[in-house]
């Protein structure tokens, strides 16, 4: 019997008992929707927590604090940076250093005091530093400003008007500089703003920094800060990050460099523990949700048993003519899996609706009735494609299992009893 | 073509622990040749239907061997029987055994559907068969809307659709009036003459039995040797 004929036969039979089949599909849809919505809470909370942990940081990033030696933690040196760059699967190593004096950008009443950070533009580009406007410095005297510094400088105007604008940059006088402490150095360099960083993901974090390439950073130090020795072996006030080629190498790289004494921390490592906890939670929720589907499976079993009983004589006649037992079995299994599939499709659509409604409605309810503010960006329910596929798969599998026994029973229909109308 | 070698059959009846063995057929040796019409006659309970059910594969003999077209079928699995039945046998039942929810056309086309024939081919074949049997106008009718004679024609069409070499008929005229009975018997003779189809018929109607080349009489589960008549001898 051709597959197309089997489906046609199944559909004809289902049409004969529309109400019963509809009720069974409804029960399956409810079970499937319950399973998806329940598990989606686990996925939603995990997503919110993970976003809270990463806070826009890259999962491939490993932050290095210091190098452990017999004398204790030692600051890193340029040689350490070179070593880190040589580790297998390391994409790049970024280094940021705080300028050892305050800087002033702009002039007269639009002069803003800030902190300058030196970085290697090429490494930052490789590490994936994203800007909201412009580009990274490529020439002398080019700078990038922090998003919030841009807002302050631009005032009423749009921050992007600052791009390619030349502004005087002065160093605050202090120990080792000319002039009295707290005053500005007389000479200024003219800095060109070529880029503005992206707004930081957390509301309470502000980026008021000024970023410059190490070329300008070193020049300023040499020109204005006499007392500070050039070419220090040990890095001053720094932030060093190693970026892996792929998130799967992060743990391996972290272990390798830790063995070499580099104290480090990675979000991926932290996330691993959180993810394990959420995995257990999600499995628990899926298990509870599956119980709802198992209850629906009783309905499918009942429907299929009724279908076999009602069609015993027809099946008996067809077996008497030459219908293969495998064909008999497949027809009933197609019917039960069809019920499972229909239920799963309807259940999935409904669960997406419920999930959307929960994400929109629950914060409003919490605010209005509980007088509390849910954390910004908190997602109560999230349905990834994998969850949908898993739940649809479980629904169909449960439906097939429910139809298995009635299908086997159909293959055992006694031809002679059917022909005698004894069934 | 069909050969039964020392076939015995007994039924076990009653509840477990209190079973009773009822012998139905005893040492049946029978040979039906290609192109023959063989009528099996006998009283009720003589074992006629059991004999036909054994040849059809609906039940298995307690002992003995059944060979069809040189193939020993006694140890066939359910699946093997299904395929064999579909290709080698056509069945005509006393009560037609049509599926009530299917139209005359769908009922007749059933063996073609089961055999996996394409929709186009089976449509062509079924239409031709309906035409041949004179029921083309009733293609869309359900069995309940047809007369006994028309239903039997649908049943005959279904049996002949895949052109099987053997037709097994269980009281084929049992539910027909005399006119329809005569028509069916003429059709059987025509099919035998033109297509060489072998017919094995069970009947207790002498008129029906008389169209057979041979009549085999069953008495209490045994072939009555004296009862074998050769119509064309």
As a whole number, mean pLDDT of residues A75-90 equals: 89
As a whole number, mean pLDDT of residues A8-12 equals: 89
Report chain A residues whose CB lies below 8 A from the CB of B91. 320-321
Q: List the beta bridge partners of residue B25.
A: B9
Which of A16, A317, A416 has the CB atom closest to B59's CB atom? A416
Sequence spans of domains, chain A: 3-55+273-419, 61-245
Which of B59, B86, B98 has the CB atom closest to A322's CB atom? B86
Query: What distance in Å separates the CA atoms of residue B103 and residue B101, rounded to the nearest whole number?
Result: 7
Q: Does residue A15 register a pLDDT over 70? A: yes
Q: How does residue A67 score in pLDDT terms, banded at 50, 70 and 90?
A: confident
Asked if B7 and B181 count as a contact pair (C-beta separation under 8 A), the reply is: no
What's the confidence (pLDDT) of residue B195?
A: 86
Comparing A180-189, A271-280, A328-337, B87-96, the range with the smallest average pLDDT is: A180-189
What's the confidence (pLDDT) of residue B225?
A: 61
Q: Does residue A182 register a pLDDT over 70? A: no
For every residue of A179-244, which 3-state class applies, written as one string?
CCCCCECCCCEEEEEEEEECCCCCCCCCCCCEEEEHHHHHHHHHHHCCCCCCCCCECCCEEEEEEE
What's the confidence (pLDDT) of residue B142?
A: 95
Report chain B residues whose CB lies below 8 A from the CB of A416. 53, 58-59
Q: Does residue A227 register a pLDDT over 60? A: no
Contact B78 A416 (CB under 8 A): no
Report chain A residues whose CB lies below 8 A from the CB of B89. 322
Comparing A5-19, A30-44, A217-231, B17-31, the range with the smallest average pLDDT is: A217-231
Contact B97 A320 (CB under 8 A): yes
What's the confidence (pLDDT) of residue A369?
A: 82
Q: List the beta bridge partners of residue B199.
A: B37, B167
Report chain A residues whose CB lies below 8 A from the CB of B83. 322, 324
Residue matched to tokens 């004589």: A313
Query: By three-state DSSP, how is residue A379 classified?
Result: coil
For residue B107, give the chain A residue with the closest CA. Answer: A318
Which of A12, A318, A411 has the CB atom closest to B110's CB atom? A318
Whether chain B has a CB inside 8 Å of the CB on A323: the answer is: yes
Contacts of A326 (CB under 8 A, 6+ apart): A411, B79
Contact B99 A415 (CB under 8 A): no
What's the confidence (pLDDT) of residue A403?
A: 92
Contact B58 A317 (CB under 8 A): no
Give me the helices (H) in A55-109, please.
78-86
Query: What distance in Å separates the CA atoms of residue B27 and residue B171, rounded to the nearest whole number?
Result: 24
Interface of A with B in 109-168 (CB under 8 A): none
Whether chain A has a CB inside 8 Å of the CB on B128: the answer is: no
What percent of chain A shows pLDDT beyond 70? Answer: 92
Query: What distance in Å separates the CA atoms of residue A401 and residue A410, rounded to the nearest whole number?
Result: 15
Give the residue, A390 or B227, on which the prediction is more confident.
Answer: A390
What percent of chain A shows pLDDT beyond 90? Answer: 35
CATH number of this structure's domain B2-230: 3.40.50.300
* Longest distance between any two alpha carbons in chain A, whole Å: 117
Q: Note down pLDDT in tens along chain B; length 233 residues.
A: 899 999 999 988 888 888 888 899 999 999 999 999 999 998 888 899 999 999 999 999 999 999 999 899 999 999 999 999 999 999 998 889 999 999 999 999 999 999 999 999 999 999 999 998 889 999 999 999 999 889 988 999 999 899 899 999 998 888 778 888 888 888 889 889 988 899 999 998 888 889 999 999 999 889 886 555 565 53
As a whole number, mean pLDDT of residues A38-63 equals: 80
Contact B111 A5 (CB under 8 A): no
For residue B84, give the chain A residue with the closest CA. Answer: A322
What's the confidence (pLDDT) of residue A230?
A: 45
Sequence spans of domains, chain B: 2-230
Q: What is the mean pLDDT of chain A?
A: 85
Contact A411 B97 (CB under 8 A): no
Contact A1 B111 (CB under 8 A): no
Asked if A397 and A31 count as a contact pair (C-beta separation under 8 A), the reply is: no
Contact A321 B83 (CB under 8 A): no
Best to test chain A binding among B24, B55, B56, B58 (most A CBs inside 10 Å): B58
Which of B93, B95, B113 has the CB atom closest to A5's CB atom? B113
Give the residue, A230 or A31, on which the prediction is more confident.
Answer: A31
A372 burial (CB, 10 Å; 0-12 / 13-18 / 19+) is: exposed
Contact B86 A411 (CB under 8 A): no
Half-sphere exposure of A148 (CA within 13 A, CB side): 13
As a whole number, mean pLDDT of residues A27-45 equals: 90
Whether chain A has a CB inside 8 Å of the CB on B158: the answer is: yes
Report chain B residues whose CB lies below 8 A from the CB of A326. 79
Q: Does residue A140 register a pLDDT over 60? A: yes
Residue matched to tokens 């008929």: B169
* Residue A171 DSSP one-character state: E
Q: Does residue A236 register a pLDDT over 90? A: no
For residue B90, give the chain A residue with the closest CA. Answer: A321
Best to test chain B binding among A8, A10, A321, A323 (most B CBs inside 10 Å): A321
Whether chain A has a CB inside 8 Å of the CB on B175: the answer is: no
What's the confidence (pLDDT) of residue B226?
A: 55
Report chain B residues whose CB lies below 8 A from the CB of A314. 99, 101
As a whole number, mean pLDDT of residues A289-303 equals: 88
As a whole number, mean pLDDT of residues A2-24 equals: 89
ipTM over 0.95: no
Interface of A with B in 387-416 (CB under 8 A): 411, 415-416
Whether chain B has a CB inside 8 Å of the CB on A222: the answer is: no
Give the residue, B82 or A276, on which the prediction is more confident.
Answer: B82
Asked if B180 and B152 count as a contact pair (C-beta separation under 8 A), the reply is: yes
Contact A320 B91 (CB under 8 A): yes
For residue B108, give the chain A residue with the closest CA. Answer: A321
Q: How does residue A94 score in pLDDT terms, banded at 50, 70 and 90?
A: very high
What's the confidence (pLDDT) of residue A177?
A: 53
Whether chain A has a CB inside 8 Å of the CB on B212: the answer is: no
Name the token pair of B179.
């006119």
Report chain A residues whose CB lies below 8 A from the CB of B59. 416
């Amino acid at each position: 019997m051709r597959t197309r004929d089997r489906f046609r036969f199944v559909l004809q039979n289902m049409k004969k008992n529309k109400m019963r089949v509809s009720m069974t599909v409804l029960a399956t849809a409810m079970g499937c929707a319950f399973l998806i919505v329940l598990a989606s809470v686990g996925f939603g909370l995990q997503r919110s927590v993970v976003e809270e942990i990463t806070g826009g940081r890259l999962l491939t990033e490993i932050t290095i604090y210091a190098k452990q030696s017999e004398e204790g933690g030692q600051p890193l040196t340029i040689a350490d940076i070179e070593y880190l760059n040589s580790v297998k699967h390391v994409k790049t190593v970024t280094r940021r250093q705080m300028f050892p004096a305050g800087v002033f950008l702009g002039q007269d009443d639009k002069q803003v005091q800030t902190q300058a950070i030196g970085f290697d533009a090429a490494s930052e580009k490789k590490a994936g530093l994203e800007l909201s406007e412009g580009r990274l410095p490529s020439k002398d005297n080019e700078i990038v400003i922090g998003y919030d510094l841009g807002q302050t400088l631009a005032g009423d105007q749009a921050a992007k008007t600052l791009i390619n604008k030349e502004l005087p940059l002065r160093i605050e006088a202090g120990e080792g500089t000319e002039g009295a402490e707290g005053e500005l150095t007389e000479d200024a360099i003219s800095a060109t703003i070529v880029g503005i960083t992206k707004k930081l993901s957390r509301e309470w974090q502000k980026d008021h920094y000024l970023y410059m390439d190490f070329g300008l950073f070193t020049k300023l130090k040499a020109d204005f800060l006499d007392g500070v020795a050039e070419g220090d072996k040990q890095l001053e006030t720094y932030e060093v990050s190693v970026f892996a080629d792929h998130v799967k190498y992060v743990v391996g790289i972290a272990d390798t460099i830790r063995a070499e004494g580099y104290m480090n921390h990675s979000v991926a490592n932290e996330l691993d523990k959180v993810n394990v906890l959420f995995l257990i939670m999600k499995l628990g929720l899926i298990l509870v949700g599956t119980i709802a589907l198992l209850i629906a499976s009783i309905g499918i079993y009942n429907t299929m048993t009724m279908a076999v009983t009602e069609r015993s004589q027809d099946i008996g006649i067809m077996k008497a003519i030459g219908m293969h037992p495998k064909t008999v079995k497949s027809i009933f299994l197609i019917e039960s899996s069809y019920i499972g599939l229909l239920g799963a499709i309807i259940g999935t659509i409904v669960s997406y609706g419920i999930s959307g409604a929960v994400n929109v409605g629950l914060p409003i309810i919490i605010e209005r009735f509980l007088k509390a503010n849910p954390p910004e960006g908190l997602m109560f329910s999230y349905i990834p494609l994998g969850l949908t596929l898993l739940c649809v798969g479980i629904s169909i599998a449960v439906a097939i299992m429910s139809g298995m026994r009635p299908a086997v029973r159909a293959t055992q229909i006694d031809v002679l009893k059917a022909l005698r109308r004894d069934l | 073509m069909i050969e039964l070698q020392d076939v015995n059959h007994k039924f076990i009846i009653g509840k477990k622990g209190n079973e009773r063995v009822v012998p139905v057929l005893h040492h049946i040796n029978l040979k039906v040749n290609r192109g023959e019409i063989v009528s099996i006659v006998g009283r009720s309970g003589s074992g006629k239907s059991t004999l036909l059910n054994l040849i059809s594969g609906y039940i298995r003999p307690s002992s003995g061997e059944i060979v069809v077209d040189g193939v020993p079928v006694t140890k066939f699995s359910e699946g093997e029987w299904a395929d064999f039945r579909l290709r080698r046998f056509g069945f005509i039942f006393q009560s037609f055994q049509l599926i009530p929810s299917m139209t005359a056309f769908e009922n007749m086309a059933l063996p073609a559907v089961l055999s996996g024939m394409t929709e186009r081919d089976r449509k062509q074949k079924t239409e031709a068969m309906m035409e041949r049997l004179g029921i083309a106008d009733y293609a869309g009718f359900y069995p309940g809307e047809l007369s006994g004679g028309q239903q039997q024609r649908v049943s005959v069409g279904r049996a002949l659709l895949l052109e099987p070499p053997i037709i097994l008929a269980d009281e084929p005229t049992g539910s027909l009036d005399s006119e329809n009975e005569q028509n069916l018997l003429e059709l059987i003779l025509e099919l035998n003459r033109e297509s060489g189809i072998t017919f094995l018929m069970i009947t207790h109607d002498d008129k029906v039995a008389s169209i057979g080349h041979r009549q085999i009489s069953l008495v209490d589960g045994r072939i009555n040797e004296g009862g074998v008549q050769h119509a064309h001898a």
